[in-house]
C-alpha cells in the first residue's frame, strides 16, 4: 500500500473564487509542489500518474458532516472533465451528481449535530479511454446505519425518505402502500 499526497481542506462555508476554469488551467500540467496546495493539485497528480503509469488511481475524500466532501468530489470531477477535454466535459459531473438528491433522501437523516447528515458512503469510479478522456462513471452507495430504520436516538430522526413518503401518503399512486402520517407510526417515525 502506497499513500500519496494528503491535502487538508477546510470548508469556508461560502463560495471562493478559487475553483473556476482559470484556476483549473493554472494547475493543469503543473508538478506537485509548484503551486499552492489545492484539490486541483491532487487531481492533477492523480491524472498524470494514471496517464504516465497506465494504472488506476484513487482519491479519498473524507471528513465530518458539513466538511465539504461532496463539493470537493464535484470539483475533482470537473477538473478531470476539463483537463481531459472530454467531449461531454462538465456534463459527466452533472450526470453523476444528478443522483445526489435521491441518494440523500434515502441515506441522509437528522442527527443531533446536523439536520441533513449523510449516513452513507459513496464510491465513484470514473472511466477513461486510451486517450484519457472520460467515457463514463459509476457510483455505488453504502448505507452505513441500517439500524436507524428501526431505532433512532433521542432528538434524531429516521432517513428523510420515510418522512417524504408519509407526506405523500394521500397521493393516489401511493395508496397501495397503506402509509399513515409520520406521527401515527411512533416506532419508525419519532
Same domain, 117 and 157: no
The answer to the question of whether 20 is labelled as a binding residue is no
Domain extent for 160:
148-189
Q: Are 180 and 117 found together in one domain?
A: no
Establish whether 4 is an annotated binding residue.
Answer: no
Task: Determine if residue 125 is labeled as part of a ligand binding site.
Answer: no
Q: Indicate the helix (H) or strand (E) that contains 106.
A: helix 100-107
Q: Is 67 annotated as a binding residue?
A: yes
What are the CB-based long-range contacts (under 8 Å, 24+) for 26-30?
27/79, 28/82, 28/83
Of the chain, the end-to-end C-alpha distance in Å amounts to 45
Q: Which three cell numbers stand for residue 161?
A: 425518505
The torsion region of residue 96 among left (phi > 0), alpha (psi -120 to 50) and beta comes to alpha
Q: Are residues 34 and 91 in the same domain?
A: yes
Same structural domain for residues 122 and 180?
Answer: no
> Do the annotations mark residue 154 as ligand-binding?
no
Q: How many domains are contained in the chain? A: 2
Residues 136 and 157 in one domain: no
* 107 belongs to an annotated ligand binding site: no
Q: What is the pLDDT of residue 53?
A: 95
64 annotated as belonging to a binding site for a ligand: yes
Lowest mean pLDDT among 58-67, 97-106, 176-185: 176-185
pTM of the predicted structure, to 2 decimals: 0.75
* pLDDT tens digits for range 125-161: 999 999 998 888 888 888 888 888 888 899 999 999 8
pLDDT digits (tens, 9 = 90+) for 37-48: 999 999 999 999
- CATH number, residue 121: 3.40.850.10
Q: Are residues 97 and 31 in the same domain?
A: yes
Q: Would you say 69 is a known binding-site residue? A: yes
User: Are 39 and 123 in the same domain?
Assistant: yes
Amino acid at each position: 500500500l502506497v499513500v500519496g499526497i494528503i491535502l487538508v481542506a477546510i470548508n469556508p462555508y461560502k463560495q471562493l473564487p478559487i475553483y473556476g476554469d482559470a484556476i483549473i488551467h493554472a494547475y493543469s500540467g503543473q508538478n506537485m509542489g509548484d503551486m499552492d496546495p489545492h484539490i486541483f493539485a491532487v487531481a492533477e497528480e492523480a491524472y498524470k500518474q494514471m496517464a504516465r503509469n497506465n494504472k488506476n488511481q484513487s482519491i479519498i475524500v473524507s471528513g465530518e458532516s458539513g466538511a465539504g466532501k461532496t463539493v470537493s468530489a464535484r470539483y475533482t470531477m470537473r477538473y478531470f472533465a476539463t483537463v481531459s477535454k472530454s467531449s461531454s466535459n462538465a456534463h459527466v459531473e452533472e450526470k453523476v451528481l444528478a443522483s445526489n438528491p435521491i441518494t440523500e433522501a434515502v441515506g441522509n437523516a437528522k442527527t443531533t449535530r446536523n439536520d441533513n447528515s449523510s449516513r452513507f458512503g459513496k464510491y465513484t469510479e470514473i472511466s477513461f479511454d486510451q486517450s484519457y478522456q472520460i467515457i463514463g462513471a459509476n457510483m455505488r452507495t453504502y448505507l452505513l446505519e441500517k439500524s436507524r430504520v428501526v431505532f433512532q436516538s433521542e432528538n434524531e430522526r429516521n432517513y428523510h425518505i420515510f418522512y417524504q413518503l408519509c407526506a405523500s401518503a394521500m397521493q393516489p399512486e401511493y395508496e397501495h402502500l397503506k402509509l399513515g402520517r409520520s406521527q401515527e407510526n411512533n416506532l419508525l417515525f419519532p
